[in-house]
Amino acid sequence: MNKLLNSLGAAALGLSLFAGTAVSSFAADINIRATANSNENDEDYDGLVVFKNYVEAASNGKISVELFIGTQLCSKGAECLQGVADGTIDVYISTSGGAAGAFPYVQVLDLPYLMANDRVAEAVLQSDFTRTVRDMALADSGDKIRLMTVGNTGGWRNFANTKRRVQSPADMEGLKIRTVVADLPQELVKALGAAPTPIPWPELFTSFQTGVVEGSKNGITDIMGMKFPDAGLQYVTLDGHAYMGALWWMSNDKFKSMPEDLRQVVIDGFSALQQATFASPKRKSIAAYEAFVAGGGDLYVPTPEEKAAFKAAASPVYDWFKTNVKGGEEVFNALTSAVADAEASIKEANMKDLN
């Protein structure tokens, strides 16, 4: 009897799951499985919620979006991008470091001091620069992985440490700075006279406590979210050396399989997502900076002259990138050209607004 009940229970469960799938398929013609290896406090989640809401509404229910937050579908950049290529994942967000193994030239976003502020960065990431990177990634993935947009995940990278205020490159001398394994951030840290020390993100808090590392290059929301001041991180220099770009990838097969009107809905959805991720770090960073200072943290804003000294010290990294990274010169030229166009457009707009 128990075996019979178990069999009936299993059959009922199977029918229930099948019925749920059938209802879902009936309700939407297309289902998009989107994942972010973060949590619901993150800008990536904010962007996905906006994307889901927009796409489902604008498609009049023809598209449904499933969100998988954390490591439910995959846990690392290479694994997740392979899932996009295989079609088991439809949408995935990575940092430049997370995608560098497959597309090394995306590390151009980590090159220091090329974009001066949010206004410039946001104009650049809405320009043909992103389309250039898209074309490069499609070519390198056999038309499988499509870059949809680039947003933000955490604001700007700034140097932070446990030892002293950093006002000039000379103050970086000898500091053990945590980096990811990728070459570019290590080259930057070396150019500034510090010692790059690759440490996995989950181990960073303990590494600050034990002195294995003495500094990092993170946004303030990450610093406060991970409670790094409790581990001794008390000095932050707002040098803003790199915009924390979030690269949103999509299965090109999935995208191309949609009719044109629904592809347009998805494109517009990613535009809404991008705007949400541009805005979210600005709001969240206000409270994070206040909490850092209230906890006794030292927050230093470099003068224009000091920032110029950092840029000069870091400039050898540009040539290293163009010489050593596949596609480096092409993507560097695309970025710097987009920056020049953005700065000129902003200057022109400013002149009109000031008069």
Question: How do the pLDDT tens digits run along the chain, 355 residues long?
Answer: 333 234 334 333 333 333 333 333 447 899 999 999 988 988 999 999 999 999 999 999 999 999 999 999 998 899 999 999 999 999 999 999 889 999 999 999 999 999 999 999 999 999 999 999 999 999 999 999 999 999 999 999 999 999 999 999 999 999 999 998 778 989 999 999 999 999 888 899 999 999 999 999 999 988 998 999 999 999 999 999 999 999 999 999 999 999 999 999 999 999 999 999 999 999 999 999 999 999 999 999 999 999 999 999 999 999 999 999 999 999 999 999 999 999 999 999 999 999 9
Q: Strand pairing partners for 249? A: 92, 147
Longest dimension (CA), the chain: 87
Q: What is the pLDDT of residue 216?
A: 96
Buried b (16+ CB within 10 A) or exposed e, 329-354: eebbebbbebbeebbeeeeeeeeeee
Query: In angstroms, how far is the first alpha carbon of the chain from the final one?
Result: 87
Distances (CA, A) of 135 to 128, 132, 144, 264, 325: 10, 5, 11, 18, 17
Here the tokens at position 175 are 């500091």
User: Smallest Cα–Cα separation from 216: which of 198, 243, 202, 230?
Assistant: 198
Tell me what pLDDT residue 201 has.
85
Instruction: Specify the amino acid at residue 42.
Output: D
What pLDDT is attached to residue 250? 98
The pLDDT assigned to 158 comes to: 96
> Topology of 28-354 in CATH?
D-Maltodextrin-Binding Protein; domain 2 (3.40.190)
pTM: predicted TM-score of the whole model, two decimal places: 0.88
Distance CA 310, CA 193 (A): 11
Angle between helices 260-294 and 43-58 (to 10 degrees): 150
Cβ contact 281:224 at 8 Å: no
Structure tokens at 188: 């930057």
Which tokens hold the place of 42?
A: 């993150």
Return the number of other C-beta atoms located less than 10 Å from residue 274's C-beta: 24
- Give the C-alpha distances (Å, rounded to integers) separating 263 from 30, 249, 258, 339: 11, 14, 6, 29
CA 78 remoteness from chain centre: 15
Specify whether the CB–CB gap between 81 and 92 falls below 8 A.
yes
In this predicted structure, what is the pLDDT of residue 220?
94
- Pure H helices in the chain: 2-27, 43-58, 77-86, 96-99, 118-125, 128-140, 183-191, 204-210, 220-225, 252-257, 260-294, 304-314, 316-324, 328-354
- Assess contact for 160 and 166: CB atoms under 8 A: no
Q: How far is CA 345 from the centre of its chain?
A: 25
Which helix (H) or strand (E) segment holds residue 33: the answer is strand 30-36
Whole-number pLDDT of residue 182: 79
